[in-house]
Structure 1
Amino acid sequence: MEIFKRFFEFYKPHKRLFFFDLICATWVAAVDLSFPQLLYYSTHVLFVQGKSDIFRGCVLIAAIMIVLYAIRYYCQHYITTWGHIMGARMESEMRKQLFEKYQALSFSYYDRNNTGIMMSKLVSDLFDISELAHHGPENVFLAVMELTGAFVLMGIINVYLAAILFVIMCMMLFFGIKQNRKMKAIFLDNRKKIADVNSSLQDSLAGIRVVKSFGNEKIEHEKFQYSNNEFLHSKTESYMAMGRFVAGGGVFVGLSYMAVLSVGGYFIGQNMLQPTDLAVFALYIGIFLNPINMLVNFTEQFQKGYTGFCRFVEIMDTPVTIKNKADAQDIGIAKGDIDYKHVFFHYEKEQKVLEDIDFHVDAGKTIALVGPSGGGKTTICSLLPRFYDVTKGSVCIDGKDVRDITLESLRRNIGIVQQDVYMFNGTIKSNIAYGKPDASFEEIMEAAKRANIHDFIMTLPDKYDSLVGERGTRLSGGQKQRISIARVFLKNPRILILDEATSALDNESERYIKEALELLAKDRTTIVVAHRLSTIQNADEILVIRHHNITERGNHDALIKQDGLYARYYRMQFHKQTVK
């Protein structure tokens, strides 16, 4: 019931549309039920009168039916048009809420979930929910109205025959509920399988260059075909269940006709029923087919929409672990002092990643983190902008715990340049402006100049309006890196995080980027993660992170004298010695 309550909450902004939709549905049902009654009236009253009275009566009935069906036309038009618009508006609101939820979820959620599955929930699930939102209440309402009205009117004609038909319909309802329970699990499996298909497709297309470089198209085809076949099997099961449901419904409709013909014939023989009344009963059985078909369609729509909404609710109920405290404060423009105070961190149900990390960085100074991969260097950086929260201890900026600072003001003061640069599908100008969306073109161009990318941009046919391609495919690694640096120049933060910003670049690109980074880091508090020790020799302090802790610390000269891991790394890079 909680799920239904939350579902109907989305009707509140559209309650006028919804209630008028039901009013129109009532009229449609009433008109559909009127024809057998007009026939009943004609055979019992009108057709036993004189010729002139019959003619006038037929003209009157024709006029009444024209009016009824004219109004029915507009009611049906409203149901089809505005009913769908209402469903689309509800779908749009759900999509908005779901997208905002995705934006609010922490990195830990994305560590555990697949992008393709999340997209499936955002697109296909919500489409089915929209169809249920529009057709569900309307179809059930129409079906109940027509079935109830038909039974009442048949009861007026002959209560015994109506009672027999009612028993048959109850049997059909019991059959439908039983089949419905089986279909619920099948449609939920449909949702999971199509999400797996989307996941496989997204993964293969995103890595298409890797696929082709290894010549593994066949492997990707097999992976996709597996998930595709699983979905086909699930859909086959759902259609088998639907087939049993529809075929079973047809049997009960046949039983209804058989009961009317056989029992009605017996009642005619006993003078308990007029032959013309039997014809009216037969018409009402025909009317049953429309609401039965509605219920059949509703059953499929309900299962798809219900399972989709359950998945929607599951996402919406996922706790947002990284959020503002009620009393969080805007830090304004930070000075830039940083403190990691006895920080411990581990991911959910995993071993510790960081143990007792403790260090201080004065505003405007540079600290470097080095060490073997997997030691926790990037995690240390991720704790500062609260991509994750510490398990124990605290991370502070200007003496304030980052958890007591609003996320917007915290991240406004931090700029990040990473090894893996993400380019949005658009122009170079829009990608640079991502650092400051309201920046003028002059500001964008100045940021590009400071990032050593302006001259290259001016060689392009469309200059700053040149498209970068999906994920920046039209640019080299060094060009993308310099655009990401221009973003940070435009943002102008007080604190800078450089996470392997010069890795895997050619010497010329590294030279350009190194110059840009040196200019960028000037007068900013900077945390550098690097494997190339040449880029950090001038750091004010270097921390060696190994076994999830700080094992060495000091400036370059001090660490060389200690002759520890840092010194061995240095000799390996500059004297070609092997680290033992």
Structure 2
Amino acid sequence: MSGVEAGSDESDEDDPFAEQRERVDDPMRRLVGEYGRPYWLSVAVGIAASLGARLLDLLPTILLGIAIDSLFQGVEPFSLPLVPGAWLPSAEVDQFFLVIGLITGSFVVGAGFHWLRNWGFNSFAQDIQHDVRTDSYDTMQRLNMSFFADKQTGELMSILSNDVNQLERFLNDGLNSAFRLVVMVVAIAGYLLYLNPQLALVALSPVPLIAVFTYIFIKKIQPKYAAVRSSVGTVNSRLENNLGGIQVIKSSNTESFESGRVDDVSRDYYETNWGAITIRIRFFPGLQLISGAGFILTFLVGGFWVFSGSAPGPFTGTLSTGEFVVFILFTQQLVWPMAQFGQIINMYQRAEASAERIFGLMDETALLESDSETDELAVSEGRVDYDNVSFSYENDQPILDDIDFTVDGGETLALVGPTGAGKSTVLKLLLRLYDVDEGAVRIDDQDIREVSRTSLRQSIGYVGQESYLFYGTVKDNIAYGSFDASDEEIREAAEAAEAHTFIQNLPEGYDTMVGERGVKLSGGQRQRLCIARAMLEDPDILILDEATSDVDTETEMLIQRSLDELTADRTTFAIAHRLSTIKDADQIVVLEDGRIVERGSHEELIGSDGLYAHLWGVQAGEIDSLPEEFIERASRRQARTEAAED
């Protein structure tokens, strides 16, 4: 296996986006073709201005060579390329001041072209960067939840931030430099060939060798940069996880352990990046040596030619001092662009690796199907039917098998069962975070797969266990999703959620900043804000996913009062490990291993002495009276859960 192939395999092994990257063809052409087309005017201005600026940058050297031969040494008549002789002054003093004026004008006008060039390329790069980032994020939002199961937040952030920024660097600095280099090389080579074709071939002799050298560099560096981009995502994931769990780290006294884990991923990034750096630091000096060899050879041949007054070796004709000075200055100007060519290739390879990851994400096959042509959900009674529903994640072991029940409008159905029974998955299907494999979920006889997700989710309110708050004010978080709500409506929702009193006691009331993920508030306060958010939405159907599991008894009482207000006269689904919170539900469905094993009211299920009754006994502290079979089954379920997590 070649070194390139081995490096590629190594990068793919650790890259969570390797599968996506393999599906992407010619990402840079796609980037410019799809995203650059709307901004052709900006880049056209940049290209035209770059051409003008580069040509004006060459003018002082050309004029210097002419002045040396015609004004200072008098060996050639005074003439300017492309300018009729009749337009030129005859007096030497006037010719001298004309040269000075032209050089001055080239600097002034050139500065204006340089400004236009920078504006054009910067505008082009920033517009594309903005569009790519927003499109990437929009695509990410529309992915199935299964996509996020094996992706970490830091890895996704790396694409939206680092990879998109790499594109901007190339489109601005790299593309700008590439066009400037092409103009410089073509213009200088053209003028040198016009001035003295024989010496020009000497000056340009390193170009083929540079091309070969650069090709080898590209083949070696490309897999290295793919591995570097993956490694950046891993570092970001570790840092994001640790910063999000900083309270757990401190309370567990595991700072040294986490420092070691950060050190490990940082060391991996260091070694991966150092592999790319090693190739770069060998390539750039080598490129400069080759370019410098062309300058030395030009100086040697041209200097001997002028010094001896006759053509050396196979060369013929004459070479004036002014022409020799132009060759030396232009050849020196060629050395820097050619050495810069390596930097451009370096930026291009980084950008291509990033573009692969970005377009790999955009082309992800886990996208939810478009529902632009579907009907809007019309809720009348709020009746929900699960009709023989089965579901599995990515054709794996079935998670739900033949789930069948009906909830009439305004009723409350509670889902109960051990961990891993499939309770949350049942409700994820109602929200269409996933689609069923078999059967159907209907709301008022409408298959939810045949209505738009927007109208479906507008009809469903969700209060979960995590009580997620966004960075912003209390008011902003209550009004999230109901952005047009008035202050009075927000306050009424807070009062109904038993949150108004504690909000008034905050330093700035409803304008108090809640901190990152609501860190400045207690768990119960965060939960009541989420309930207020759901109340403000006033949904037809409500989902309560263990909404009181992480709060104390007193807070649970307050939250339960809020929930009673929220669930009144609306179809409600509730998941709860604390069975006392759902014992008054109209219907209780008991799940085990993805199947319905019991259903009925609290009293009926207690009387049946089945799984529900045993779970109730666990929470009532009656462990000694539980049958041995129940304990063994609980032990097997726990073992399966731990094996799945491993």
Query: 2: CA distance between counterparts of 1:281 and 1:21?
Result: 29
Query: What secondary structure, in the 3-state scheme, does the structure 2 residue paired with 1:467 have?
Result: coil
1:334 Cα deviation after fit: 4.4
Which structure 2 residues correspond to residues 447-458 of structure 1 after superposition, within 5 A?
447-458=493-504
> Is residue 586 of structure 2 the alignment partner of residue 540 of structure 1?
yes
1:516 Cα deviation after fit: 1.2
Which structure 2 residues correspond to residues 9-88 of structure 1 after superposition, within 5 A?
9-47=34-72, 48=74, 53-88=91-126
The one of 495, 504, 518 equivalent to 2:550 is 504
Q: 1:502 to 1:79 in 2, by over 3 A?
A: same
Query: 1: CA distance between counterparts of 2:361 and 2:47?
Result: 31
1:365 aligns to what? 411
Which structure 2 residues correspond to residues 526-565 of structure 1 after superposition, within 5 A?
526-565=572-611
Residues 545 and 551 in structure 1, CA contact (< 8 A), matched pair in contact too: yes
More displaced stretch, 157-166 vs 304-313: 157-166
More displaced stretch, 159-168 vs 263-272: 263-272
Number of corresponding residues: 580
Spell out, residue by residue over 1:462-504, the C-alpha distance to the aligned partner (whole angstroms, 9 max, x if none). 1111221211112111111111111111000111111111213
Query: What secondary structure, in the 3-state scheme, does the structure 2 residue paired with 1:296 have?
Result: helix
1:5 aligns to what? 29
1:237 Cα deviation after fit: 2.2
Query: 2: CA distance between counterparts of 1:3 and 1:334?
Result: 49
2:85 aligns to what? none
Query: What secondary structure, in the 3-state scheme, does the structure 2 residue paired with 1:112 have?
Result: coil
> Is residue 346 of structure 2 the alignment partner of residue 300 of structure 1?
yes
1:349 Cα deviation after fit: 5.1
1:256 aligns to what? 294
Query: 1: CA distance between counterparts of 2:30 and 2:266?
Result: 33
Query: What secondary structure, in the 3-state scheme, does the structure 2 residue paired with 1:330 have?
Result: coil
Query: 1: CA distance between counterparts of 2:336 and 2:293?
Result: 17
2:511 aligns to what? 465
Task: Write the letter of the residue equivalent to 2:318.
Answer: L
More displaced stretch, 397-406 vs 554-563: 554-563
1:267 Cα deviation after fit: 4.7
RMSD (Å), alpha carbons: 2.0
The one of 446, 469, 475 equivalent to 2:492 is 446
Query: 2: CA distance between counterparts of 1:236 and 1:326?
Result: 48
Query: What secondary structure, in the 3-state scheme, does the structure 2 residue paired with 1:434 have?
Result: coil
The one of 454, 462, 482 equivalent to 1:408 is 454
Query: 2: CA distance between counterparts of 1:326 and 1:442?
Result: 35
Query: 2: CA distance between counterparts of 1:259 and 1:290?
Result: 16
The one of 150, 156, 167 equivalent to 1:129 is 167
1:326 Cα deviation after fit: 4.6
2:240 aligns to what? 202
Percent of paired sites with the same residue: 33
Query: 2: CA distance between counterparts of 1:537 and 1:230?
Result: 53
Residues 421 and 481 in structure 1, CA contact (< 8 A), matched pair in contact too: yes
1:348 Cα deviation after fit: 1.9
Query: 1: CA distance between counterparts of 2:90 and 2:440?
Result: 98
Query: What secondary structure, in the 3-state scheme, does the structure 1 residue paired with 2:524 have?
Result: helix
2:17 aligns to what? none
1:401 Cα deviation after fit: 1.1
> Is residue 396 of structure 2 the alignment partner of residue 350 of structure 1?
yes
More displaced stretch, 397-406 vs 263-272: 263-272
Residues 147 and 366 in structure 2, CA contact (< 8 A), matched pair in contact too: no
2:272 aligns to what? 234
Task: Write the letter of the residue equivalent to 1:180.
Answer: I
2:183 aligns to what? 145
The one of 604, 608, 612 equivalent to 1:566 is 612
Unaligned runs of 5+ in 2: 1-24, 79-88, 312-316, 632-646
Q: TM-score, normalised by structure 1?
A: 0.96
Q: 1:287 to 1:435 in 2, by over 3 A?
A: closer
1:321 Cα deviation after fit: 3.4
1:59 Cα deviation after fit: 0.7
Query: 1: CA distance between counterparts of 2:339 and 2:92?
Result: 37
Query: 1: CA distance between counterparts of 2:607 and 2:420?
Result: 26
Residues 322 and 389 in structure 1, CA contact (< 8 A), matched pair in contact too: no
Query: 2: CA distance between counterparts of 1:52 and 1:156?
Result: 25
1:142 Cα deviation after fit: 1.7
Query: What secondary structure, in the 3-state scheme, does the structure 2 residue paired with 1:123 have?
Result: helix
> Is residue 326 of structure 2 the alignment partner of residue 280 of structure 1?
yes
Q: TM-score, normalised by structure 2?
A: 0.86
> Is residue 232 of structure 2 the alignment partner of residue 181 of structure 1?
no
More displaced stretch, 532-541 vs 50-59: 50-59
Spell out, residue by residue over 1:444-468, the C-alpha distance to the aligned partner (whole angstroms, 9 max, x if none). 1111111111112122231111221
